Amino acid sequence: MSLNPNPNPNPNPNPNPNPNPDVITPPLSLSSLSIAIATLTISLACGIAVASESEKNTSTDNSQMINVTGDAYIGAHHDSNVNVSELDTNTDTSDSAVKANAKLKVAITPVEKWQFTASIQHSETRYNELSEFDLAITTLAGEASYQLPWAKVGLHHYNASADLDSNAFLTYQQTGVSLSNSAFSQGYWRISVDAIDKAFDNVPERDADALAGRIDGFWFFTNQSFVQVGLKYQNEDALDQAFDYDSYGLDVSYTYPTHFLGKALDLKLGYEMEDRRYGSGSQSNSSASSGGIFNDEFDQQQNSRRDDDRHVVKASLEYAALENMDIIISAQYKDYGSTLASADYQETLGEVGVKFHF
């Protein structure tokens, strides 16, 4: 179970996308900042819409638009090895869970080249037996984008609050800029740079600032299928240097749209890898005690370093059974190799769910 609430691990592959989703600590509270940004986004967009009334005769009808979308999901989930990857903790125990998610998004296009979006999302995972791993995440997001002649420029901010076993666990902020545009007649590219801030309620030594960057490329085929390749890098600076790391990663996926019984069916295969190199003192020489999931098994050693090598294989099927209802089946296999014993494990995930959308 990953607690990383980054809402934008993969950009939207639409040739004219508005990407959503994975910071300096402000003087305001984190949730207040996100609400303020979302409110400011909507207010600014409305203001521009009023100011641009004089351009109405030269604008198309579609340039003055407010679009509201939403979806709700519920599914049955099975995990072969319940864990909290952010705490390098795994139980080596399987369990089933109910997963639910709801999202509301407002997109405003006051004039042809500007777009503003604001969204709120809440997700929950409730386990049958291991309730101490029950997870709830609330995410607020805001974005503004402008279409230049050669690229779309975007500014985005996300704030996610995670609760573990009904207790505050992690607050995650991500602020960044992006550039994106089409390439040739069938390609699309996106570059993003983000500042990230993590604040843990129970393990403050893991609090961290990070700088992340990624480059994504998409190629669309004549049958409407497409391939995505992403390269990513992250440098994380934690309060305790044992948790400092540099990581390099690769994402590859292939999406194939087809039809079954006259309804749309999307098939997707994906692979992710990440190589992490930690700072000095990051290698443990003892096992974690059994006192709870917040135990930290790091015994700092001056000349000992931790290395992680992570691989994930994914497959999913999404079937549009009804106009506003999709059936989703997904599976993942994770192989997390590490020189730290508690972070070295394998995990298989399976899920069947239904998504309602408007």
- Give the model's confidence band at 7: pLDDT under 50 very low, under 70 low, under 90 confident, else very high: very low
Is the pLDDT confidence value at 131 over 50?
A: yes
Tokens linked to 92: 């080596």
Please say whether the beta carbons of 54 and 41 come within 8 A.
no
Coil, helix or strand for 319? strand
- Tell me phi and psi for residue 208, to 5 degrees: -150, 155
Please say whether the beta carbons of 83 and 24 come within 8 A.
no
The pLDDT tens digits for 310-346 are 999 999 999 999 999 999 999 999 999 999 999 999 9
| Res 129: pLDDT | 97
Distance of CA 318 to the CA centre of its chain: 19
- Tell me phi and psi for residue 294, to 5 degrees: -95, 5
Q: Which domains does the chain have, with CATH numbers?
A: 30-357 (2.40.160.40)
Beta strands in the chain (DSSP E): 65-79, 83-84, 89-90, 95-109, 114-127, 135-147, 152-164, 167-183, 187-200, 208-220, 226-238, 245-260, 263-280, 305-322, 325-338, 345-357
How far, in Å, CA of 316 to CA of 306, rounded?
Answer: 33
| Res 304: pLDDT | 78
Residue type, 27: P
Q: What is the pTM of this model?
A: 0.80
How far, in Å, CA of 267 to CA of 319, rounded?
Answer: 9
Q: Which of 257 and 6 is assigned the larger pLDDT? A: 257
Please say whether the beta carbons of 174 and 195 come within 8 A.
yes
DSSP 45: H
How far, in Å, CA of 117 to CA of 145, rounded?
Answer: 9
Over residues 12-38, mean pLDDT: 38
| Res 293: pLDDT | 63
| Res 92: pLDDT | 96
Please say whether the beta carbons of 144 and 41 come within 8 A.
yes
Tokens linked to 41: 């986004």
Please say whether the beta carbons of 91 and 43 come within 8 A.
no
Residue type, 59: S
Beta-carbon contacts of residue 17 (< 8 Å; ≥ 6 apart): 11, 180, 188, 190
Beta-carbon contacts of residue 155 (< 8 Å; ≥ 6 apart): 143, 144, 145, 176, 177
